[in-house]
């Protein structure tokens, strides 16, 4: 007799389900030609951005589609951060990248470029009321915001005495300028001009248009079989007038003449061995460690103070106080820390500016505020649960000995509760330590950002990120050791 086994039935369902998913994922395109996964970072209008309905739009997107049609292949766009594109091409997780990527000699050592498809260059953007900066030479000792891993970032690095902060995307760097935290932004001229001309970026002017002359190319992995296909498609769209149409659509002018070859050969890099690479990166990463620790320690102190207060207030007999603390905890626990960081650093100054006040936040202050507010919500819950875990008889006994409610809390309840709070507080510190990496989005150069900056220069993502992970691991292991020692010590002392 066949017995029905629920477990076996569940397993078969899982196997069938998984196989279906895998088959769907690997499905072959039947509409003709290969499907190429093409990466783009859609934060660079008018080249690549998300339209009103969320679909990809822009000059590069139209061009890539035209190239694909001309060379008979299909395109599947994949959104990727700009600084992750070259590592992804190397790892062959994508087939090509079209993301206004300037063809540079350095990059051509790691990836292969198609023939140039656009002529651009860098421009300097400053606030409209700035009379001080008149050109590249007057950028010395100034604060400059750039997008990480771009030619603009490399140019800013060459300015003597400049304080360069790097952001994940060009709009964030421009927002930083608008908020008054930096003096200038070095970015691709067509993108900055588009933002200014469309009115999306107010109070900003562009000086020194085309500081450099650059050409964009479609990038593929070295020796990729798709490079010739893409070049063939590009040649066709240049010849059949499609390119001119797309250019006219986005730039309302006729395109300049482009070279049909790369300015230099697709050469090969002399690869540094992993050990030397790591030794070279270590000092920079260690500076990042110091910043990470500073951020975590300051934030945990504020978080502890705020969290204890909120946790105790939550036990109040006054209902509105309880409701307020509940709302605080719900808000900060229920929204992503990343969103909170963006709100505090970019959102607050922007809203104050709109109201006519000048208000800007220092990166460290913004990072500490965001991390402390967030961890205070978790700590409040730990404190509340710790206090509530002490048997009611304890406070009754204390009261019968004549202690008032403050003394009961201070001498009887809190010391016992604190011992129970140490393990969850330790966990909270470890989470906080790891969460500091999120502050990288506001250009704060802590450990993770330092790693990203190194990868943006040498494209050795695996080694560098592995090292960053190992350093975080060491930090958390050391912290958890310290916390368990503290716990033992408190037990011994009978605190
Ligand atoms: N053209 C610039 C570069 O290649 C910026 C590109 C971008 O941010 N998408 O570095």
Are 41 and 80 contacting, i.e. CB atoms less than 8 angstroms apart?
yes
**Is the CB of 114 inside a 6 Å radius of any atom of ligand 1?**
no
Confidence grade of residue 279 (pLDDT, cut at 50, 70, 90): very high
Q: How far is the CA of 102 from the centre of ligand 1 (A)?
A: 6
How much is the average pLDDT of 127-153? Answer: 95
Confidence grade of residue 268 (pLDDT, cut at 50, 70, 90): low
Are 220 and 111 contacting, i.e. CB atoms less than 8 angstroms apart?
yes
User: For residue 407, what are the contacts with CB-CB under 8 A and spacing of at least 6?
Assistant: 398
Q: Which residue has the tokens 């905890």?
A: 329
Lowest mean pLDDT among 113-117, 195-199, 382-386, 435-439: 195-199
pLDDT digits (tens, 9 = 90+) for 425-456: 999 999 999 999 999 999 889 999 999 999 99
**Is the CB of 102 inside a 6 Å radius of any atom of ligand 1?**
yes
**Is the CB of 41 inside a 6 Å radius of any atom of ligand 1?**
yes
More confident residue, 100 or 274: 100
Q: How far is the CA of 229 from the centre of ligand 1 (A)?
A: 23
**Is the CB of 117 inside a 6 Å radius of any atom of ligand 1?**
no
Tell me the C-alpha to C-alpha distance, in Å, between residue 52 and each of 56, 57, 443. 9, 9, 28
Query: Residue 382: its pLDDT value, please?
Result: 97
Q: How far is the CA of 103 from the centre of ligand 1 (A)?
A: 9
Are 189 and 46 contacting, i.e. CB atoms less than 8 angstroms apart?
no
pTM for the full model?
A: 0.82
> Residue ranges of the alpha helices (H) in 314-413?
319-334, 337-342, 348-354, 363-388, 392-400, 405-407
Q: How far is the CA of 199 from the centre of ligand 1 (A)?
A: 22
d(C-alpha 301, C-alpha 223), whole Å = 53
What pairs with residue 166 in β-bridges? Answer: 146
pLDDT beyond 80 at 464? yes
d(C-alpha 411, C-alpha 467), whole Å = 46
Tell me the C-alpha to C-alpha distance, in Å, between residue 345 and each of 168, 178, 361, 468. 14, 12, 7, 25
How much is the average pLDDT of 45-64? Answer: 96
Q: How far is the CA of 101 from the centre of ligand 1 (A)?
A: 5
**Is the CB of 166 inside a 6 Å radius of any atom of ligand 1?**
no
| CA–centroid distance for 13 within its chain | 38
d(C-alpha 433, C-alpha 446), whole Å = 11
**Is the CB of 371 inside a 6 Å radius of any atom of ligand 1?**
no
């Amino acid at each position: 007799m066949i017995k029905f086994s629920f477990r076996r039935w569940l397993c078969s369902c899982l196997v069938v389900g998984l196989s279906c998913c895998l088959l769907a994922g690997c499905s072959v395109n039947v509409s003709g030609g290969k499907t190429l996964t093409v990466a783009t970072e859609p934060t660079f209008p008018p080249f690549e951005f998300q339209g009103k309905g969320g679909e990809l739009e822009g000059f590069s997107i139209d061009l890539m589609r035209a190239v694909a049609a001309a060379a008979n292949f299909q395109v599947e766009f994949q959104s990727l951060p700009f600084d992750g594109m070259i590592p992804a091409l190397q790892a062959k997780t994508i087939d090509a990248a079209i993301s206004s990527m300037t063809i540079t000699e350095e990059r051509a050592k790691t990836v292969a470029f198609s023939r140039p498809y656009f002529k651009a260059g860098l421009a300097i953007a400053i606030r409209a009321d700035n009379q001080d900066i008149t050109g590249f030479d007057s950028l010395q000792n100034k604060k400059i915001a750039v997008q990480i891993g771009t030619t603009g970032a490399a140019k800013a690095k060459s300015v003597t005495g400049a304080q360069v902060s790097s952001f994940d995307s060009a709009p964030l760097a421009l927002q930083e300028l608008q908020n008054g935290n930096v003096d200038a932004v070095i970015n691709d001229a067509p993108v900055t001009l588009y933002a200014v001309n469309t009115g999306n970026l107010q109070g900003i002017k562009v000086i020194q248009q085309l500081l450099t002359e650059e050409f964009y190319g479609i990038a593929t992995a070295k020796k990729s079989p798709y490079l010739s296909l893409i070049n063939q498609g590009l040649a066709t769209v240049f010849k059949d007038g499609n390119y001119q149409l797309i250019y006219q659509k986005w730039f309302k002018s006729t395109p300049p003449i482009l070279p049909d070859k790369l300015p230099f050969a697709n050469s090969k890099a002399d690869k540094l061995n992993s050990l030397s690479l790591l030794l070279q990166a270590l000092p920079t990463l260690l500076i990042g460690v110091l910043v990470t620790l500073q951020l975590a320690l300051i934030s945990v102190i504020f978080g502890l103070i705020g969290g204890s207060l909120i946790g105790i207030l939550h036990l109040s007999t006054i209902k509105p106080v309880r409701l307020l603390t509940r709302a605080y905890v719900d808000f900060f626990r229920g929204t992503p820390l990343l969103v909170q960081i963006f709100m505090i650093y970019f959102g607050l100054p922007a809203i104050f500016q709109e109201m006519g006040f000048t208000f800007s936040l220092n990166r460290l202050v913004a990072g500490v505020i965001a991390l402390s507010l967030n961890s205070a919500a978790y700590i409040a819950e730990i404190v509340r649960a710790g206090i509530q875990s002490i048997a009611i008889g304890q406070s009754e006994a204390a009261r019968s000995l004549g202690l008032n409610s403050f003394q009961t809390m201070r001498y009887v309840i809190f010391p016992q509760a604190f011992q129970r709070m140490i393990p969850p507080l330790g966990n909270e510190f470890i989470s906080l330590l790891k969460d500091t990496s999120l502050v990288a989005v506001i250009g704060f150069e802590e450990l993770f950002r330092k790693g990203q900056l190194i990868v943006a220069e040498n494209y050795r993502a695996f080694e560098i990120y592995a090292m960053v992970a190992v350093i975080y691991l060491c930090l958390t292991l050391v912290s958890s050791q310290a916390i368990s020692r503290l716990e033992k010590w408190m037990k011994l002392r009978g605190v």
